[in-house]
Structure 1
């Protein structure tokens, strides 16, 4: 039996953090422009909407206990009298965390985007009434013994793909079973049909996602952030954001 009161919370926080997703076209660190080099995909590529909110975690254990966190820190444990109100994450996710099925063993982490409300400058694109929502975008299963390692080793393990993420079909089944909405699935494309040029990718984005599919009310502005591209087994994943392509094309036109 796991007693979360005795866990090394720094180790837990590190082991369950979500890794960064790199851009489909490489990003130039010097000026933020996109470069011509693209992420290499093979086979089917699933396209999902990238929602512009804040990354959140539900970290659950076999005994039904759980901890809620933001991208960087842990915020609340089941039964706590005091909670961290940061970005509305706990208020948005606590009822879901209370009802989801605990893992049979180890640690399961649901990764969700909490959006709308007052979450970031893009919130008005999803709501005109300060409504807040959430969408599931990934689930990882993590063995408990990872927490026995030193923090540096845990970080290295995480950054070298140590976390085991559910494949697309597994994720869809879990979301249906738990009754939680996923980020919208837009299409499945063959890797060799993905645009390799920057202008072509912007047109691709506009064609697949002209407006957000996760608006929370009629007052939403509707501008989407972009698309996440991922293989069925999640071995390759990348993001393509409208703002990156529009900025790069605008700067190139001024040369």
Structure 2
């Protein structure tokens, strides 16, 4: 696909087109102090709960011609065939072999973007919760497909950002995501439960209890005793609604409430 030849294409456009969008917190964050507000994301129908792993966000962009790019959340770090890649956070070392296996996985003129959490090693301060010997792991948490990216390559950066932040990217729904992961031989972030929307807690204290009940410890420890997890991600089957709930946000908010008494 000549229009996406990584040697000639505007990589800034590819980078912006394939960045992972921010997802909201289940309870809204107060911009004044980072505490949680009573307002929460509305779900309808069943919500799938997955573990939110405390690592670093990474992506593999698979092109139809067999080329691929590896990136962090903010920048592209490596293209297939590079002699030297950006070593930032060890992402390229962790994912290069995976990316090599995926060449040819994109179909027709589509671009497939796989979003993975790379964790353990020395990724974050939370790595100790997953490994005692600095092992590194990765789990797939989302897949997006760009059906016809060529016309967007000439867009201004601001237009691409607005398109992305406005939900322009097409993400796979739950069933297709799991099926794609199985077909590619990739482990996903753990599926913990499916909960009816009416059974989701709305109060901040009850949501913290909900987190503890569903995820007392991480389920993806690489070695040694399992430590704490970062929290949960909640999503509808079609991924039209998605939100994250992090232990630290609820603990911070509840401590402040207790301190005011």
Q: Hey, what does 2:204 align to over in structure 1?
A: 198
Q: Which runs of 5+ in 1 are unaligned?
A: none
Cα contact 2:219–2:226 (8 A) shared by 1: no
- Equivalent residues of 1:124, 1:221 under 8 A apart: no
- 1:20 is aligned, of 9, 19, 22, to 22
Q: Which residue of 2 aligns with 1:213?
A: 219
In structure 1, C-alpha distance between the alignment counterparts of 2:31 and 2:55, rounded to whole Å: 23
Aligned to 1:125: 129
Q: Where does structure 2 lack aligned partners over 5 or more consecutive residues?
A: none
Please identify runs of 4+ aligned residues in structure 1 that moved more than 6 A. Answer: none
- In structure 2, the partner of 1:246 is 251
Cα distance, 1:147 vs. partner?
1.6
Partner of 2:164: 158
TM-score (norm 2): 0.95
The answer to whether the 8 A contact 1:24-1:38 is kept is yes
Aligned residues: 254
RMSD of aligned residue pairs (Cα, Å): 0.9
Deviation per CA, 1:55-90: give whole Å up to 9, x if none.
001001011100000000000000000011111100
Cα drift, residue 148 of structure 1: 2.5
Alpha-carbon distance between aligned partners in 2 of 1:7 and 1:106, rounded to the nearest angstrom = 16
Q: Please state how far the C-alpha of 1:221 moved relative to its aligned partner.
A: 4.9
C-alpha separation in 2, matches of 1:135 and 1:166: 16
SS at match of 2:15: helix
Aligned partners of 1:201, 1:8: CA distance in 2, in Å? 44
SS in 1 for 2:125: coil
Aligned with residue 177 of structure 1, among 183, 186, 192: 183
Is 1:114 the counterpart of 2:97? The answer is no
Equivalent residue runs for 1:51-200 within 5 Å? 51-100=53-102, 101-104=104-107, 105-142=109-146, 143-145=148-150, 146-200=152-206
State TM-score, norm by structure 1: 0.98
